[in-house]
Structure 1
Amino acid sequence: MEGFDYKSYDGLGLAELVKKKEIQPKELLAEAISIIEEHNPKLNAVINKFYEKAEREAETLDLNGTFASVPMLLKDISQEIQGEKITSGSKVFQSYRAERDSEYVKQVRKTGALFVGQTNIPEFALMGITEPAFYGPTRNPWNLNHTPGGSSGGAAAAVASGMVPIAGANDGGGSIRIPGAFCGLFGLKPTRGRTPVGPNYARLWQGAAIDHILSRTVRDSAAMLDEISIFEKYAAFHAMPYQGSFLQQLQNSSDEKYTIAFSFQSPLGTEVHHECKEAVLKTVNLLESMGHNVVEIQAPVDGQKIAKSFLTMYFGEVSSWITTIEEMIGRKVKMNDVEPTTWILNLVGKATSAKEFALSLREWDKAAISMEIFHETYDFYLTPTTAFPPPKIGELEPSQSEKAAMQVTGKLGMGGLLKRIGIVEQVAENNLKRTPFTQLANLTGQPAMTVPFHLSSDGLPVGVQFMAARGREDLLFSLAGQLEQSEYWVPIQRNPFFKEKEIVMA
């Protein structure tokens, strides 16, 4: 196709070109591979490549799928392809290969997307930055000295640099929305139970974690959610089925008016950077000019209890995951098999009681009830996505004294001591201070989206987050459709990896 600019199209736009036979699937795939090979040495976003398999699949592809022939990357955790490596960002899995396709992969494959590789993640997707010891850090396309966020950091960097228009992602505490905000993308965490988790699991992180995608356009996210929303009979949670089309709701969104609550106060009572506040205030002014009713009020939940209950689950899940790994690899996991922080989190999880875990889940339910009542009055809750712009690579590493304490107590297996003196909680909470707004939706099961609505004075993206009641992704897409047309929507073309061209939505 003469003059074809792969990067200027979103996923649906590329699929439309293929369906019209304006470009062949193998030509599209070749463009994606070329750009990955060009950009990845700088970004370290893609850690496994499936080029030959994708080339074979392109020859026999059904071109009727929603994303027919669209190159796509999968996340290196939970999104397994049978026979391919899935390391979860850890050297302990360096030789492990998936026994079967995940249900997420099965559903996405039905759309006609071509899987070209896997993206980098922090070890076991545990951090809001992507700096695993095994693969090295992924860098932000807007500024290579900064992180793209995590845990879907490789996915975000790949989409934001133009390697692919969409990439698989998942979110257990903000892992779609944080990298979406840091890389100037649209990212939606669906309602608990909306997308598949099987066949290996019936729940992920007690229902806090869920899979979807990161994208440059809202319509790609809506179309994919239409395709992968299924009733999975063995799943622990099921979202109320949506009878319409999320994509259609997006396209019919122009006249809707909403009541929106907003706050830029951290639920932890900690600092919020002025750029993140500015992003919210800018959004509030726009919403009011569009005729929406906007009210400043905080969510009716205890932010400290939410953070504590999230961390209790987090510690317990890490410890449980270490046991699961031992079953998968057929031997005991040793301290040097995983990163030091992971090992310490495991020890603290072992020192966490069943009572503490049960009480933490009760806090989730209390918060969910409070937010359901809240959304009887307010259609959305608007906050910054993160409390700070993207940090620099290495900025959130534990201090030397913290590392020394972890190493000594880790060797001695003294998770209880670490818990009593609060070092691990301190490290974890220092990270949560950067991202205190995203965990609530994971615990309550609500859908939430990040919207690219601001650039800092340093030229780094800053996102704003909207939450809606459970099952109401349609409202989020409706509002996102309005916002995407505004002058405040940050064009992805402004980052150094993009040419100054508009995205074409054919």
Structure 2
Amino acid sequence: MTGERVHAFGDDALGEHDAVALAAAVRAGEVSAEELAEAAVARAEQVDGRLAPVAFEAYLTPRVGRSGPAAALAGVPTFLKDNVDLRGMPTGQGSAAFRARPARRTAGFAEQLLGTGLTVLGKTRLPEFGLNASTEYAAAEPVRNPWQPSHSPGASSGGAAALVAAGVVPIAHANDGGGSIRIPAACCGLVGLKPTRGRLVLNDQGRRLPIDLITDGVLTRTVRDTAAFFAAAEQQYRNPALPPLGLVAGSGERRLRIGLVLDSPLEAAVTDQQTRQAVERTAARLEALGHRVEPAVLPFGEQFAQDFTLYWGYIAFLIAATGKLVLDRGFQARRLDGLTQGLRRSFRREFLKTPGVVRRLRQAEQAYAGMFAEYDLILCPVLAHVAPPIGHLSPNVPFEELIGRLRRYVAFTPVNNVTGAPAISLPTGETADGRPIGVHLLAPHGEERRLLELAFELEQDRPWRRIQD
């Protein structure tokens, strides 16, 4: 499938507004939550046949979020990613290995999201268990990128990214275990903040692991929507171990010292020219705004990549080994896709290395923190190359070739999952044919405010491109 951009922006209750504007309109009585939900459903039905982003529809029985002063986004429609439980809705995990049944409980993060006031209309698609960097399947239609449907929307929050970029909803849940907020944000022209580990209620899946890689968040089209969500979420739960975030409402005054990284320390992951230019142009903009940008080096190399890959395989191994107990008694490991099976086999061959892998990955946090003795933030690519065509990262690609492609593509984002530090993808670049390129800003633990303030400054200096233009 090739051709023009796919979006659903139009003259309805949603218009071209972001979540903050829609919530204000609901509070003022200018529009009702029901009217917003109806418009979002109509838009979802308009694009679903071309982009395939929806895993489960709850259009007739949406889950309405809380109301009240702390529910800053009350009445705004959204979707939940299909790997977080919401009572009454199935959680399919993007897998054909089991039959998803309605969840009996609501996960802690889903409760926090509902506390912001958002109305959940259904679930978004992800690749099997979120393990891939493209939302593709062994035997099902892939999720497609609204900017160019022949290309990947990224993953694992690819369904969420497609819905937000196409204008179906202004904000959607995403989570990130190796880049899964930032990668689809980069591919689809969105703002994607991966928060500090523990900033939001811990994800049920990640908290059981020796190293919790997974953090929840949202994908949005504006910085203020991301800032508003995190401020509203903090009203539901605040981690006393982290500095309070509050509502970040604009750019900061302090000029920052920013380290510039253009190349991954991985020899095989070569940053392509279009991505390199996007990062360099963003660096030039930051310097023009008065910030100091200097060359820097990430203190992680091939050993880190090998360790992360083995830990990735450990997760696939656990999924296969515990599926009948954790997911469904009818779980069939033989029906897992080629990527999950390949990761599982790789881990089984090298499982004796696991203690050393976990020890070294835990030590990465200290090396990461050391970068910020010299810099306030790090600027680098989100991905080593632009979003690939559908099929390039299909789970049907032979495993050794696929894992090589993934390592050459996802060469920057896993560092912040391992260390637990925050990072944000911003849509400051574009390819020669008009597709978005995201750039990546990394911050010390607990410094989401610093990221959001700089994001506001970049957005104000040059607003993001719009798919409808």
Same fold (TM over 0.5): yes
Give the distance between the partners of 1:278 and 1:353, measured in 2 at CA.
Answer: 40
Task: Number of aligned residue pairs: give it.
Answer: 458
The RMSD of aligned alpha carbons is 2.3
Give the distance between the partners of 2:328 and 2:258, measured in 1 at CA.
Answer: 52
Deviates more, 1:331-340 or 1:127-136: 331-340
Deviates more, 1:28-37 or 1:93-102: 93-102
Alignment of 1:294-443 (within 5 A): 294-299=293-298, 301-329=299-327, 331=329, 333-354=331-352, 356-397=353-394, 402=398, 423=400, 427-443=402-418
User: Is residue 446 of structure 2 the alignment partner of residue 490 of structure 1?
Assistant: no
Q: Aligned in 2, Cα 1:204/1:153: closer, same or farther, shift over 3 Å?
A: farther
Alignment of 1:427-506 (within 5 A): 427-487=402-462, 489-491=463-465, 493=466, 495=467, 498=468, 500=469
Deviates more, 1:211-220 or 1:335-344: 335-344
The answer to whether the Cα contact below 8 Å between 2:143 and 2:159 also exists between their aligned partners in 1 is yes
Among 72, 79, 87, the alignment partner of 1:73 is: 79
Aligned to 2:146: 141
The answer to whether the Cα contact below 8 Å between 2:206 and 2:212 also exists between their aligned partners in 1 is no
Aligned to 1:30: 38
Q: Aligned in 2, Cα 1:198/1:490: closer, same or farther, shift over 3 Å?
A: closer
AA matched with 2:461: S
**Cα distance, 1:359 vs structure 2:** 1.5
Give the distance between the partners of 1:143 and 1:198, measured in 2 at CA.
Answer: 32
Alignment of 1:219-230 (within 5 A): 219-229=224-234
AA matched with 2:393: L
Give the distance between the partners of 2:317 and 2:271, measured in 1 at CA.
Answer: 32
Deviations 1:122-147 (A, max 9, x none): 01100000012354200000001001
- SS of alignment partner, residue 207 of structure 2: coil
User: Is residue 287 of structure 2 the alignment partner of residue 288 of structure 1?
Assistant: yes
Deviates more, 1:337-346 or 1:305-314: 337-346
Q: Aligned in 2, Cα 1:92/1:217: closer, same or farther, shift over 3 Å?
A: same
Q: Aligned in 2, Cα 1:3/1:349: closer, same or farther, shift over 3 Å?
A: closer
Q: Aligned in 2, Cα 1:48/1:231: closer, same or farther, shift over 3 Å?
A: closer
Alignment of 1:17-416 (within 5 A): 17-54=25-62, 57=64, 62=67, 64=69, 65-77=71-83, 79-133=84-138, 135-197=140-202, 202-203=207-208, 206-229=211-234, 240-245=241-246, 247-248=247-248, 250-251=249-250, 253-269=251-267, 270-299=269-298, 301-329=299-327, 331=329, 333-354=331-352, 356-397=353-394, 402=398
AA matched with 1:432: R
- SS of alignment partner, residue 260 of structure 1: strand
Give the distance between the partners of 1:239 and 1:321, measured in 2 at CA.
Answer: 32
The answer to whether the Cα contact below 8 Å between 1:63 and 1:69 also exists between their aligned partners in 2 is no
The answer to whether the Cα contact below 8 Å between 2:191 and 2:425 also exists between their aligned partners in 1 is yes
AA matched with 1:265: D
Q: Aligned in 2, Cα 1:435/1:344: closer, same or farther, shift over 3 Å?
A: closer
Give the distance between the partners of 1:210 and 1:50, measured in 2 at CA.
Answer: 25
- SS of alignment partner, residue 61 of structure 2: helix
Q: Aligned in 2, Cα 1:321/1:284: closer, same or farther, shift over 3 Å?
A: same
- SS of alignment partner, residue 192 of structure 2: strand
AA matched with 2:351: S
Gaps of 5+ in 2: 1-9
**Cα distance, 1:5 vs structure 2:** 5.5
Aligned to 1:9: 17
Give the distance between the partners of 1:53 and 1:332, measured in 2 at CA.
Answer: 28
Which structure has the bigger radius of gyration?
A: 1
The answer to whether the Cα contact below 8 Å between 1:19 and 1:63 also exists between their aligned partners in 2 is no
Report runs of 4+ in structure 1 exceeding 4 Å deviation: 2-5, 198-201, 229-233, 329-333
Deviations 1:430-453 (A, max 9, x none): 212112011111111110000100
AA matched with 1:146: H
**Cα distance, 1:325 vs structure 2:** 1.2
Give the distance between the partners of 1:68 and 1:331, measured in 2 at CA.
Answer: 38
The answer to whether the Cα contact below 8 Å between 2:136 and 2:393 also exists between their aligned partners in 1 is no
**Cα distance, 1:485 vs structure 2:** 0.6
Structure 1 or 2: more helix by fraction: 1
- SS of alignment partner, residue 136 of structure 1: coil
The answer to whether the Cα contact below 8 Å between 2:203 and 2:214 also exists between their aligned partners in 1 is no
- SS of alignment partner, residue 160 of structure 2: helix
- SS of alignment partner, residue 426 of structure 2: strand
Give the distance between the partners of 1:385 and 1:429, measured in 2 at CA.
Answer: 18
The answer to whether the Cα contact below 8 Å between 1:382 and 1:467 also exists between their aligned partners in 2 is yes
The answer to whether the Cα contact below 8 Å between 2:170 and 2:221 also exists between their aligned partners in 1 is yes
Deviations 1:1-47 (A, max 9, x none): x9655141111111100000001111111111110111111110112
Give the distance between the partners of 2:212 and 2:254, measured in 1 at CA.
Answer: 31
Aligned-pair identity in percent equals 32
Deviations 1:300-332 (A, max 9, x none): x23212211111110001111222211035647
**Cα distance, 1:229 vs structure 2:** 4.2
- SS of alignment partner, residue 365 of structure 2: helix
Deviations 1:55-96 (A, max 9, x none): x848xx63642111100011011x211121110001223232
Gaps of 5+ in 1: 404-422, 501-506
Q: Aligned in 2, Cα 1:74/1:134: closer, same or farther, shift over 3 Å?
A: farther
The answer to whether the Cα contact below 8 Å between 1:239 and 1:471 also exists between their aligned partners in 2 is no
Give the distance between the partners of 1:224 and 1:399, measured in 2 at CA.
Answer: 37
Give the distance between the partners of 2:204 and 2:395, measured in 1 at CA.
Answer: 36
Give the distance between the partners of 1:392 and 1:342, measured in 2 at CA.
Answer: 21
Give the distance between the partners of 1:466 and 1:215, measured in 2 at CA.
Answer: 17
Q: Aligned in 2, Cα 1:266/1:202: closer, same or farther, shift over 3 Å?
A: closer
Give the distance between the partners of 1:27 and 1:469, measured in 2 at CA.
Answer: 41
